[in-house]
Amino acid sequence: MPRFSKSVSALRSSAIRELMSLAARPDMISFAGGMPGNDLFPINEVEELFKGLDTRTKQSAFQYGPTPGLPSLLESLGSYLEGKGLPVGNDRLMITTGSQQGLSILGKVFVDPGDRVLTEYPCFIGAIAAFRSSGAKIVSIPVDEEGLDIDMLRQEAARPDPAKFLYITPYFHNPAGMLYTSERKLELVEAIQGRDIPLIEDDAYGDLWFSEEDRDRLVPIKATDPEGIDICYMGSFSKILGPGLRLGWLLAPPAIYEKCELIKQSADACSPSFSQVIADAFIRSGKIDGYVVKVREAYRRRAACMAEALRKHLPEYVRWNEPKGGFYIWLTLPEGADATPILKLTIEHGAVFVIGSTFDPDGSRNDTMRLSYCNNTPEEIERGIPIIADAIRKICG
């Protein structure tokens, strides 16, 4: 009998991954995966850019690269992030194999088995998996429409044995879809300043805003560079170029960066050079800005279509917030409801979503549902939402 490690025994399969086999059925309307729309990928632009590269650069795309990333991409991405006000000159930038690797690296850097880490509730399932794989004990703090519950955070920060870090996704949260207010971010900073609790700020969706009036709320905490907090800022090309590239980035203080580089060396030596060459060419060509505008508008239209369908079909006792950006809408059912039988009934009639317990580190709270609109046509949304609404009525009354 194989003797598995305690850390791997604590892991559980992602419900989202398991639902992907259902989503692949041609008769199934999937609101489950947070996958960009296939029709939006910049295929022609990337083909043109790669053809225009010189032979030496093309050759480097097939070769091993430095662990932190190709120097050319570090330079172009660094300039791109500086344009957002991020302190690239004071910190160190690393290319990761998707932002998921960044989470895994940080978990290994900070966590010994049994250590407490703080996350939001609900929490991105990839973060739960990454931190659990390092043996972390996850303490989740609820969020509302403005961000993390500050009173609970202050209680945790005041403990004599501080948590190893706080992980947040403040910009079009996965899965809750909400956008932190500037006031809530300031309160969060004040709560952990000087408490020896590093902040992991995950910004995978921040470029996908729908309204100019929300721009002020999108300034990263890392960009304000507050004293008394070590902030690790994470981002990804997955939502602004394509997840198949498997490229993310990590901007961290030098002392943390050095440990992260050692972990990455042992994990994969380097992220894919081919993808890095493409991403670098895309940034340097100036095409990235126009492309982000294009996909932002496409997701805004899809979000508006789903919001209209929800207003039309959902029973009034289901609570949800109008999406301001990103990929997701979070539904809250009446207290005591269970989303699992709703999912089963929905699948029987040809649609699928993700139940709330997937995003609960404890796996117990299940009166919520995540719907994704990013990879659906208006026709699919208009056909699929009534299926979900009917299932909710049949189960909840």
The whole-number pLDDT of residue 9 equals 61
pLDDT at 11 over 70: no
Q: What CATH number should be reported for the domain whose range is 63-286?
A: 3.40.640.10
Q: Residue 91 above 60 pLDDT?
A: yes
pLDDT of residue 177: 96
pLDDT in tens, 146-200: 999 999 999 999 999 999 999 999 999 999 999 999 999 999 999 999 999 999 9
* pLDDT, tens digit, 9 for 90 and up, residues 23-81: 567 789 999 988 998 999 999 999 999 999 999 999 999 999 999 999 999 999 999 99
pLDDT mean across residues, the chain = 94
What is the rounded distance in angstroms from the CA atom of residue 3 to the CA atom of residue 247? 34
pLDDT of residue 83: 94
HEC readout, the chain: CCCCCHHHHCCCCCHHHHHHHHHCCCCCEECCCCCCCHHHCCHHHHHHHHHCCCHHHHHHHCCCCCCCCCHHHHHHHHHHHHCCCCCCCCCEEEEECHHHHHHHHHHHHHCCCCCEEEEEECCCHHHHHHHHHCCCEEEEEEEECCEECHHHHHHHHCCCCCCCCEEECCECCCCCCCECCHHHHHHHHHHHCCCCCCEEEECCCCCCECCHHHHHHHCCHHHHCCCCCCEEEEEECCCCCCHHHCCEEEEECHHHHHHHHHHHHHHCCCCCHHHHHHHHHHHHCCHHHHHHHHHHHHHHHHHHHHHHHHHHHCCCCCECCCCCECCEEEEECCCCCCHHHHHHHHHHCCEECEEHHHHCCCCCCCCEEEEECCCCCHHHHHHHHHHHHHHHHHHHC
* pLDDT per residue as tens digits for the range 351-389: 999 999 999 999 889 999 999 999 999 999 999 999 999
**Residues 280-322: tens digit of each pLDDT:** 999 999 999 999 999 999 999 999 999 999 999 999 999 999 9
| pTM of the predicted protein model | 0.94
Q: Where are the domains of the chain?
A: 6-42+289-396, 63-286
Average pLDDT over residues 82-90: 95
Assign domain 6-42+289-396 to a CATH class. Answer: alpha beta
Segment 331-355 shows an average pLDDT of 95
Contact between 19 and 222 (Cβ < 8 Å): no
Tell me whether the CATH fold assigned to 6-42+289-396 matches the one assigned to 63-286: no
Residue range 194-241, pLDDT digits in tens:
999 999 999 999 999 999 999 999 999 999 999 999 999 999 999 889
Report which of residues 82 and 16 the model is more confident about.
82
Confirm if 233 and 222 have CB atoms less than 8 A apart. Answer: yes
